[in-house]
Amino acid sequence: TKDRNGVDQVVLRNKRGDSARVSLYGGQVLSWKNERGEELLFTSSKAIFSPPKAVRGGIPICFPQFGNRGTLEQHGFARNKMWVIDDNPPPHPSTDSNVKSYIDLLLKSSEEDLKIWPHSFGFRLRVCLAADGHLTLISRIRNVNSKPFSFSFAYHTYFSISDISEVRVEGLETLDYLDNLHNKERFTEQGDALTFESEVDRVYLDSSNKVDILDHERKRTLGIRKEGLPDIVVWNPWEKKSKTMVDLGDEEYKQMLCVDGAAVEKPITLKPGEEWTGRLDLSVVPST
């Protein structure tokens, strides 16, 4: 289908027939709506839909490098590539009987990729919409090369929130984090929920696999569960940095918060033939 900008997107609908749905642009989830059709992800009103510029919003996949931790462009090249839909995906494991609709997208190392990152890989991204509206992303990355390689990774997830000054994040208390605003130095989080009053750009380490964003005004809690992703990135550009970003409205930082399941501090190393799986489960539950 084409969205409001005439941009080609693939839409997963909930077979239960309600308004839950997920829209994808290439390998990037751009929209996730709950059963009442409410949008749960943030996409900038000034997002630029012209590769290789990354689209500001939804869930861009940062691979094979997170941030500027390496020689590649910021966040690696995967999010700027066009992916291929696998018309004949392997069946979904019966363990996820709740999963009602899913799609597999494939990314292979191209000739140009190999020039800047000389490691042949196969990347299968499965996007699943469950009957209860939960969204699951499963990344399977295989080393199809003859020598080991290492990579860092993040599901760079832009959540839609009512107001950055009102939300709280639970599950990161007492964890250590690397602060991107202080030369990536290591600090320790204090003992209560995270609230926001200025720019935040942190990588929480060895985080618990359960983090919640409590949006009191919208009376809902966004739940983040993950496997194979030891870290959680938390980012909000705040006002000053927003003004330097052409693809983000000056005030839009108030309606977004990035809380990313990631593997950043300790890159993943794959031997030839080995495969890594990184799974992200997002849910939304009403909360008083």
Is 124 labelled as part of a ligand binding site?
A: no
Closest distance to ligand TA6 from the beta carbon of 149 (Å): 22
Is 233 near ligand TA6 (CB under 6 A)?
yes
Closest distance to ligand TA6 from the beta carbon of 278 (Å): 17
Closest distance to ligand TA6 from the beta carbon of 266 (Å): 17
Is 79 labelled as part of a ligand binding site?
A: yes
Report residue 121 as tokens. 């890989």
Is 180 near ligand TA6 (CB under 6 A)?
yes
DSSP 110-178: -HHHHHHS---EEEEEEEEEETTS-EEEEEEEEE-SSS-EEEEEEE--EEE-S-TTT-EEES-TT-EEE
Binder of ligand TA6 out of 20, 29, 30, 54 (CB under 6 A): 54
CB closer to ligand TA6, 126 vs 202: 202
Which positions ≥6 away from 287 have C-beta within 8 Å? Answer: 214, 215, 216, 219, 220, 221
**3-state DSSP: the chain helix, strand, coil percent, rounded to 5?**
10, 45, 45
* Residues 151 and 141: beta-carbon distance below 8 Å: yes
Q: Which helix (H) or strand (E) holds 11?
A: strand 10-13
Binder of ligand TA6 out of 107, 135, 258, 264 (CB under 6 A): 258
Is 56 labelled as part of a ligand binding site?
A: yes
CB closer to ligand TA6, 180 vs 277: 180
Choices 67-75, 115-123, 124-132, 217-225; region in contact with ligand TA6 by CB under 6 A = 67-75
Report residue 285 as tokens. 């539950």
The binding site for substrate comprises: 56, 74, 79
Residues of this chain that bind ligand TA6 (CB under 6 A): 54, 67, 74-75, 180, 201, 233, 235, 258
